Structure 1
Amino acid sequence: MADNILFLLGWLGELIFASWLLSDGAEHLAERWGGRFVGRTLLSIATTLPEIGIVVAAAKDGSYGTAIGSALGSNLFMMTFGLAIMLIIATTRLSKAPQKFVDVKEFGLDKIFLVITAVVGAMLFIDGYDITDGIIFTSLFAVYLAFAFREMKKEKKMVPLEKDLHAEAHAKPKKHFARSMILFIAGTIGIFVGAEPFVHALEGVSVDLGVSVVVLAVIVSPIAGEMPEKISMILLARKGANGASIAVANVLGSKILNNTLLLSVAVFAAMSYRGFTTKIPNTPLLENQMILVTVITIVALVPMFKNKLGLKSGVMLLVLYVAGIGMQFVLPTL
């Protein structure tokens, strides 16, 4: 058992380091192009790559519980703990320019889309996921990108949100851009190299401890999978209002990606390795996890519909995360 745990920790460390490289590169690329659109798209896709790597590796081995559990754990982790840490930093002296609250009024599209995709994902899972569901998830992802792109065009006609940041980024030398691109590529390669051994180690520890691999995936996978997003959120939250705005866009965008792109990747990866008619089956534990995470996602979004998030909201989200993790020890007994 000790060997499996050391193996798991070793590959977890490799994924965290690769995620740090990816985050650093992605953040500087985002600074070059700027704006909420980047937070929703480029940065969200970049910070979702670790989960994609883990999901593909799990689907290859037929470990569908690990694949879906990883996606669910990511949403549970970032919609509660991730947002909580960002709010605590942005509204206290931990930030370079503390705010009383973070304004999320401009994210109406993201909030509504996240609720829709969370509910649709849970409903489609009643009879498992197949190719039809994969197409639906891909279509929802394409629709979200189209709406985000349309909003970006509207913003450009008005006063750009990140005008100063955009200009500053373009003034930086080409060497800075080249370094960012190298880090981004190195992090991406590191993530896909470490994903498969990490999944194997997770399964080994699960057997040794007698704990469901689904539960371990929900708890452990986000530590590696969400590391780039966590790092970028902390860095952005410390920069003040504009940085916090991009951080919120990144969280909401990446969680929508989890409910659309990531699930479609799981379906199509399973098909590519196991055959065209492959179906990701529903199980009682996965179904309970899906319901739990969907409910927690919606509850976490409630304060956002008031358009202002403060320190109290951060504390509430931390409590919600603790409750979600506590449920991991209850669900297997149901």
Structure 2
Amino acid sequence: MIILSFSISAIVVIIGAIYLNQFGDVISKKTSLSGAAVGTFLIAGATSLPEVTTSITAVYIDNADIAVGNMLGSNVFNLLIIAVMDVLYRKQRLFQAVSARANIPTASIGLLFMITLIVALFRPGTIELFNIGIEMLVIFVLYFLYVFFTSSSGEQEEDVPEKDYSKRSAVVGFIIAAVVVFISGSVLSISGDRLAQVTGMNASFVGSILIAAATSLPELVAVLAAIRYSNYSIAIGSILGSNLFNIQILALTDVFYRKEPILKAVATSNLYTACLGIFMTLVVMYSLLRANKNQNTLVYATPSIIMVVVYLVVSYMLF
């Protein structure tokens, strides 16, 4: 029954998040919220709502491992999506078809965030302010500065075509989808917590792999849509940007976790996921920066294949 509840809630989260993305895109284009900054925040918030609800619910039921594991796991699963797509569409050479200059800054900030989290996880204690880890405050400030300077550049990306809706239908649909995702996301966390207790599985594994995969599948759909329309820059840029936003959600969970800084309450097994995130980010950066040589498709796809293999190995270790 718990497995059925977990599976159904995961499917509902995925479907709801896909509609959230579609409706949010229409709202940002057809209302006064169409400014770049607000529109981007709306879409980012829409696609990340599953992570928000699952992590906040995990905090409410006092399972910090699922809350933290969900966010770290979502980031590595997002990078896995890019790696798998790069292998499947290796003839298109995704990493060589986009601008390294446009994506390296985002990847570098994400790398810095992950290093900050690992340092905090390694430390036996942490500096705290109002029971919030100082590393979370640092991450929030860095993200704010990054968004400020990025937005001031005035660059806009090409949109992936979406099904058109009227403004009223989009607003109503967005609200309904948000409620559905909120409820199903909460059920997903609660059933995941129960699944870990009943089966004896590591809570970090449940959060980092099972729940993270379920909440990240909407990103997979978005990446597939972008690749379908040959918008490779959106496919890669949206994943790297989503990872930055996910870390901010982790900072938000620290605010709601009032006992102590949340990273002090999690198992050391979360270090595996965090280190995996650093490794995969470095491989992505290498793939973006390496010279455009005339390699055959197998040689080109080797870094992405390594990412997939290492992800599977770490997942097995967590299990």
TM-score (norm 1): 0.78
Q: Deviations over 1:93-139 (max 9, x none)?
A: xxxxx989421322232122122222122212323675123322221
Number of the residue aligned with 1:54: 54
Query: Aligned equivalents of 1:252 and 1:263: distance in 2?
Result: 16
Q: Is the 8 A contact 1:57 1:199 kept in 2?
A: yes
1:329 to 1:185, Cα distance in 2 relative to 1, 3 A: same
3-state SS, counterpart of residue 151 of structure 1: coil
1:100 to 1:197, Cα distance in 2 relative to 1, 3 A: closer
Number of the residue aligned with 2:71: 71
Number of the residue aligned with 1:44: 44
1:29 to 1:91, Cα distance in 2 relative to 1, 3 A: farther
> Which is further off, 177-186 or 231-240?
177-186
Matched, 1:254 2:254: no
Q: Is the 8 A contact 2:75 2:246 kept in 1?
A: yes
Shift of 1:5: 0.8
Query: Aligned equivalents of 1:302 and 1:263: distance in 2?
Result: 26
Query: Aligned equivalents of 1:147 and 1:103: distance in 2?
Result: 21
Number of the residue aligned with 1:283: 267
Structure 1 residues not aligned, in runs of 5+: 93-97
Matched, 1:103 2:98: yes
Shift of 1:278: 5.0
Shift of 1:315: 6.1
Shift of 1:219: 1.3
Query: Aligned equivalents of 2:229 and 2:184: distance in 1?
Result: 32
Query: Aligned equivalents of 1:38 and 1:30: distance in 2?
Result: 8
Matched, 1:222 2:212: yes
Q: Is the 8 A contact 1:29 1:180 kept in 2?
A: yes
Match of 1:193 among 179, 183, 187: 183
Shift of 1:284: 2.2
Shift of 1:35: 11
Shift of 1:55: 0.8
3-state SS, counterpart of residue 62 of structure 1: coil
Number of the residue aligned with 2:121: 125
Aligned residues: 306
Number of the residue aligned with 2:194: 204
Shift of 1:161: 5.3
Structure 2 residues not aligned, in runs of 5+: none
Query: Aligned equivalents of 1:299 and 1:186: distance in 2?
Result: 39
3-state SS, counterpart of residue 6 of structure 1: helix
Number of the residue aligned with 1:85: 85
Shift of 1:13: 1.7
1:143-162 equivalences in 2 (<5 Å):
143-152=145-154, 155=155, 162=158
1:210 to 1:195, Cα distance in 2 relative to 1, 3 A: same
1:10-25 equivalences in 2 (<5 Å):
10-25=8-23
> Which is further off, 183-192 or 315-324?
315-324
3-state SS, counterpart of residue 252 of structure 1: helix
The code of the aligned residue for 1:324 comes to Y
1:315 to 1:176, Cα distance in 2 relative to 1, 3 A: farther
TM-score (norm 2): 0.81
Number of the residue aligned with 2:314: 327
Percent of aligned pairs with the same amino acid: 17
Number of the residue aligned with 1:139: 141
Q: Is the 8 A contact 1:47 1:229 kept in 2?
A: yes
3-state SS, counterpart of residue 316 of structure 2: coil
Q: Is the 8 A contact 2:87 2:301 kept in 1?
A: yes
Shift of 1:77: 0.7
1:37 to 1:112, Cα distance in 2 relative to 1, 3 A: farther
Query: Aligned equivalents of 1:307 and 1:31: distance in 2?
Result: 38
> Which is further off, 293-302 or 228-237?
293-302
Shift of 1:58: 0.6
Query: Aligned equivalents of 1:315 and 1:31: distance in 2?
Result: 39
> Which is further off, 189-198 or 321-330?
321-330
Match of 1:306 among 290, 294, 317: 290
> Which is further off, 126-135 or 52-61?
126-135
3-state SS, counterpart of residue 153 of structure 2: helix
